[in-house]
Amino acid sequence: MKVLLLGYMGSGKSTVGKELAKKMNIPSVDLDDKIEAKENLKISEIFSQKGEIYFRKKETEVLLEQLESDEKTILSLGGGTPCYGNNMKLALEHSKNVFYLKVSIPGLVERLLKEKAHRPLIKNIEDEELPEFIGKHLFERNNYYNQAHHIIACDGKSPLELAREIEDKLV
């Protein structure tokens, strides 16, 4: 069984993935961590040294490796992963348990303001411009995110509550 978690940065994919993995006693895998380990570089370094096209090709390659492995896992995708190439199609073909962790724009702003310095995509954006940036990005990505088998509303819920909610919906 593969359980895939997708959503915008700051939606809690990695945190909820770890909670769910603990509950189910299976590994939690973060796609970005796998890419970094394979390349021996941070995601930001891959982008700056090798470019986004290289990164997206590597991302699809590592995603496919994870999807085709026989290991039961909770796989947390990068925020942009479903939106490039045929990644969303691959995800839906390889798992019946694809979950979109949906957080409102105000919820994402609140979460991301605290960790802006560690998020290359938003670290240079002024705080007051963040809601518009996130809103535009979500508008562009919603078509992909909304293809998930399940959409989980995350605002006001703890990672443990979300893990329980996901576990109850597993096929």
Residues in the annotated binding site for ATP: 10-15, 119
Can you state the angle between helices 130-145 and 105-113, rounded to 10 degrees? Answer: 120
Residues in the annotated binding site for Mg(2+): 14
What strand order describes the sheet that includes 150-153?
28-30, 73-76, 2-6, 97-102, 150-153
Residues in the annotated binding site: 10-15, 32, 56, 79, 119, 141
Q: For residue 57, count CB atoms less than 10 angstroms from its CB and return exposed for 0-12, middle for 13-18, buried for 19 or more.
A: middle
Residues in the annotated binding site for substrate: 32, 56, 79, 141
Q: Which among 113, 83, 77 is positioned nearest to 95, based on CA atoms?
A: 77
